[in-house]
A and B are shown apart, each in its own frame.
Chain A
């Protein structure tokens, strides 16, 4: 069913009967699309899919516009989801009934919880994901979401009208103009264009305008936003080369095995789709002085590094690692791209050297002596909009009912994008219904930390989540995301399914019951000492940490 490319309009495939009437569109691409939607989401990446699905879950008739339907759910950089801080975000997205956690539970090939020995507040759920499976599962989910329509098309401009006087903003968005000149009207518009705003791909000294290797950038939209007065900045990021799996000598490398049992990302998944013994391992290797040498000798062939544009400090290219921390061995993780993929993703080897030098550099590394490079690493430079121009509901101050989510706001990472997507989708829908916005505070979740940091401090490098950014880290744990957000999502917004709400309620009452049972057990401190000799029981009345 995914071979229907180039068909202009996509209709949700398995609509329930009562909703069928709402989504009765012509599949004929030639017919002008004079339909009006509640919410239009531009972009089918990790922010766009979450935004579109969230708006639809809230009951808004939603249109997802994307350059190509077959790239919906594409993981354009690393083949993994989650991590420390990022896993927290995924749990929160899931608590609001978002998609990515459930899709990851159906698509992973190596599940592993990081930080197991450092206290439950900082556990990091993480998994290697099969790119193809993820994309398939995500597309299946999106195309089967009630009230959600998907259409291919490049957005060239926004339709703007008079502002509503009771809100701030100099105008209001009321639809979009597509590249073919046709217009689609909507009450709210969510922009999730990622790196596609004047995106440029850099390999060595070559530069190509593109949002992702092989995909066209959005130039018209970038002009429109600039004309409206949005402050635009420029960021860069990079991705490593891909290596043929069979050309690597794994036998001499350190092997990392997945967790047994696997911990699912989603609160409503009992388990993941694959047994631990069927999962794929990762391998570890290191760079060496020869790699440094190649990088340093060829800096003149590397325009990406010379640029002054800010790149992330925490996901640096091998070039900046060599320059900033010379004479060290740097780790390279060799990660599988999927169950039946013959590609390996060398995490830690993000590079923008000319392709032939990349190949030369790779073959210096232990285990990769005979490695075959299938696709070179490249750098991406792109526009982002200063996120201080948006409110905590992700609506722009300048243009009413226009929402930004994802990399366009200066973040990096699938999880950060997904988190903003859910919030933008929910608020785009609430705005149509003239309801107050749904805002997560810093005390309630990493989503709140993310959005508060962006909207109040802005960012001058690609923003990534860390647990150290959360002041209330001890209470914002991955395991209690449901108790923090699911009930709010259900009662205030209606973006949470009945099934999830019931499960969260059950968990909540079980926990309360367990706590009251534990509280009812009282012994003297000497008895406790006898029962649990290793526990340190202070006799003096010291205040708990929270009272300091």
Chain B
């Protein structure tokens, strides 16, 4: 009788074979391509002073000896000058600095060798050919050194991402963020969360696997806090009609899950900041026609991105250019001046400009300081500047900087042209006056939008980080709602899986280790 009923009830969980990939990871994961030794040019291509060629794998020592014959391996991790020659022909290739990193104290965790050769293309290709002729060596595939470092546990997934970002960092703030991530800060944060979750899961799993079979012993149960519920449950009659509410579980598991929910929620609220810093904040320059938007874009990007003319409506499409604004990466968009009643092409430009405004992380609203009373200026102030300034109650209002251009047209030393306006900056694109003030204001705004990478908690730099944190949070929500203990544990497993996917790792053995450390399980 029991099987039929429960088969029906739990069919949903059974379903077709789950598409979810198996998340077992850990020491047993076979290292991809281990056994072979790889080599590659690690510095940039083209003529240069010094080029660095690396090898990684068990034959690295052999390769190093082959090229530097008849001399033996240099001492570990110290630079030595050696004559490199082709192992077959014996032809000298270059006099180079060589470095020997025996594993596991190397970048990849395997034996590694580095050849710092002169950067001429013929030298580099000669050395690469010589390495290719050593048995057991093959050219590395893209990213293979880092992949081996990951496979050997030298780098976590977020550290790998940090490394890639560091290599591609173009602005100072990007570099700081990438370096922090490479140092493992995001990884540590996730590891901390995953650790909390693993412990909570271990306690639930212990209750499932050993609560009745091995009778977790009462003294042990109180170890993690006051959890009298467990002891009671074990001795309750099995015919108890309803499933135990989860509050009777170890209070530690539940309270830890609740704290984790709060922490994840807080972190997700400013989740886009790290991504903006990584891929550039969207800064949209908008305003009525002929306010000097294109001049400002050209000034900020220090190159003639947009055509500038005294004629209103010169810019009709959205023009984008990546710029480094006070150390922060930004994607600067020049848009068509906002006005009604122009031709169809310009109207399309205006539509696109409005669309772009909605996606903007920061709006640079540009007005002609000498023309604030015109209908197009008034209209722009009412429809774009006022709503952004008012802000929505959830704090997600768009950021906006109001710039009054053409300050050179104002009478010198005259009064503020618009005492009733919100805080604004005066600028003259023509003379460059007020540019420093604008850049400082931009730096402050972008630091808010992107987050300051040198302080505060590590940021989520990729969409997948946010996705998995959200997934984790959703799963924790299921945990607190469900009444079936196996389903509750499944929710915790899912939550932990999401965290593990940010950094890698997360096998079942970890759970068992905690169980056996915390509880005296045993017949």
Cβ of A52 under 8 Å from chain B: no
Residue of B nearest to A388 (CB): B28
A468–B511 alpha-carbon span in the complex (Å): 8
CB distance from A351 to the nearest CB of B (A): 12
A263–B238 alpha-carbon span in the complex (Å): 14
Cβ of B218 under 8 Å from chain A: yes
Per-residue 0/1 for B231-266: is the Cβ within 8 Å of any A Cβ (1 yes, 0 no)?
001001011100110000000000000000000000
Interfacial chain B residues near A321, Cβ < 8 Å = 520, 522
Say yes or no: A511-B8 contact (C-beta < 8 A), given A330-B217, A443-B17, A456-B28: yes
A124–B342 alpha-carbon span in the complex (Å): 77
Interfacial chain B residues near A480, Cβ < 8 Å = 3, 7, 14
Interfacial chain B residues near A119, Cβ < 8 Å = 10, 243, 484-487
Interfacial chain A residues near B512, Cβ < 8 Å = 466, 468-469
A/B pair count, beta carbons within 8 Å: 181
Cβ of A252 under 8 Å from chain B: no
Say yes or no: A115-B208 contact (C-beta < 8 A), given A263-B2, A314-B522, A348-B523: yes
Interfacial chain A residues near B18, Cβ < 8 Å = 443, 472, 475, 546
Per-residue 0/1 for B164-194: is the Cβ within 8 Å of any A Cβ (1 yes, 0 no)?
0000000000000000000000000000000
CB distance from A508 to the nearest CB of B (A): 10
Most B C-beta atoms less than 10 A away, residue of A119, A263, A327: A119
Checking A325, A477, A515, A536 against B520 with a beta-carbon cut-off of 8 angstroms, the contacting residue is A325
A118 touches B2 (CB 8 A): no
Say yes or no: A115-B211 contact (C-beta < 8 A), given A328-B220, A475-B18, A514-B8: yes
Say yes or no: A548-B494 contact (C-beta < 8 A), given A314-B516, A316-B522, A511-B4: yes
Residue of B nearest to A469 (CB): B508
Cβ of B219 under 8 Å from chain A: yes
Per-residue 0/1 for A104-125: is the Cβ within 8 Å of any B Cβ (1 yes, 0 no)?
0000000011111111111110
Cβ of A78 under 8 Å from chain B: yes
Most A C-beta atoms less than 10 A away, residue of B13, B210, B521: B13
Interfacial chain B residues near A121, Cβ < 8 Å = 10, 13, 486
B75-83, B320-328, B474-482 - interface stretch:
B474-482
A511–B11 alpha-carbon span in the complex (Å): 10
A511 touches B7 (CB 8 A): yes
Cβ of B347 under 8 Å from chain A: no
Residue of A nearest to B12 (CB): A544
Interfacial chain A residues near B6, Cβ < 8 Å = 120, 477, 479
CB distance from B29 to the nearest CB of A (A): 9
Interfacial chain B residues near A117, Cβ < 8 Å = 233, 236, 238, 240, 243-244, 485
Cβ of A545 under 8 Å from chain B: yes
Within 8 A of B (CB), among A368-390: none
B238 touches A259 (CB 8 A): yes
B490 touches A474 (CB 8 A): yes
Cβ of B358 under 8 Å from chain A: no
Per-residue 0/1 for A31-53: is the Cβ within 8 Å of any B Cβ (1 yes, 0 no)?
00000000000000000000000
Within 8 A of B (CB), among A92-143: 112-124, 126
Chain B facing A: main interface SS = helix
Residue of A nearest to B474 (CB): A548
B213 touches A84 (CB 8 A): yes
A328–B222 alpha-carbon span in the complex (Å): 11
B217 touches A328 (CB 8 A): yes
A265–B491 alpha-carbon span in the complex (Å): 29
Say yes or no: A474-B487 contact (C-beta < 8 A), given A313-B521, A325-B520, A328-B219: yes
B213 touches A324 (CB 8 A): no
Interfacial chain B residues near A474, Cβ < 8 Å = 10, 13-14, 486-487, 490
Say yes or no: A473-B212 contact (C-beta < 8 A), given A117-B238, A121-B10, A515-B11: no
B14 touches A314 (CB 8 A): no
CB distance from A376 to the nearest CB of B (A): 18
B28 touches A329 (CB 8 A): no
A325–B518 alpha-carbon span in the complex (Å): 9
A472–B24 alpha-carbon span in the complex (Å): 11
A471 touches B485 (CB 8 A): no
B209 touches A467 (CB 8 A): yes
A466–B511 alpha-carbon span in the complex (Å): 11
B10 touches A124 (CB 8 A): no
Checking B15, B486, B508, B522 against A118 with a beta-carbon cut-off of 8 angstroms, the contacting residue is B486
Per-residue 0/1 for B1-45: is the Cβ within 8 Å of any A Cβ (1 yes, 0 no)?
011101111111111011010111011100000000000000000
B481 touches A328 (CB 8 A): no
B244 touches A122 (CB 8 A): no
Per-residue 0/1 for A444-487: is the Cβ within 8 Å of any B Cβ (1 yes, 0 no)?
00000000000011100000001111011111010110000000
A333 touches B7 (CB 8 A): no
A331 touches B478 (CB 8 A): no
Residue of A nearest to B202 (CB): A468
Cβ of B275 under 8 Å from chain A: no
Interfacial chain B residues near A473, Cβ < 8 Å = 486, 489-490
A348–B217 alpha-carbon span in the complex (Å): 11
Cβ of A59 under 8 Å from chain B: no
B4 touches A124 (CB 8 A): no
B217 touches A479 (CB 8 A): no
Residue of B nearest to A465 (CB): B209
Say yes or no: A333-B523 contact (C-beta < 8 A), given A115-B211, A474-B13, A546-B20: yes
Residue of A nearest to B29 (CB): A456
Most A C-beta atoms less than 10 A away, residue of B7, B23, B27, B478: B7
Residue of A nearest to B509 (CB): A457
Checking B26, B219, B485, B516 against A122 with a beta-carbon cut-off of 8 angstroms, the contacting residue is B485
What 14 new A-B contacts, CB under 8 Å, besides A327-B219, A511-B8?
A113-B238, A116-B238, A117-B240, A118-B485, A119-B243, A314-B214, A315-B523, A457-B27, A467-B208, A471-B493, A473-B490, A474-B490, A515-B11, A545-B490
Residues of A within 8 A of B (CB): 78, 83-85, 112-124, 126, 259, 263, 313-316, 321, 324-325, 327-331, 333, 347-348, 350, 442-443, 456-458, 466-469, 471-475, 477, 479-480, 510-511, 514-515, 518, 536, 544-546, 548
Q: List 16 A-B contacts (CB under 8 A).
A: A113-B238, A115-B213, A118-B207, A119-B485, A466-B512, A467-B205, A467-B208, A468-B489, A471-B22, A471-B508, A474-B10, A474-B14, A477-B10, A536-B481, A545-B491, A548-B478
List the 7 closest A-B pairs by CB distance, nearest first. A479-B3, A119-B486, A120-B6, A328-B219, A474-B13, A119-B484, A468-B205
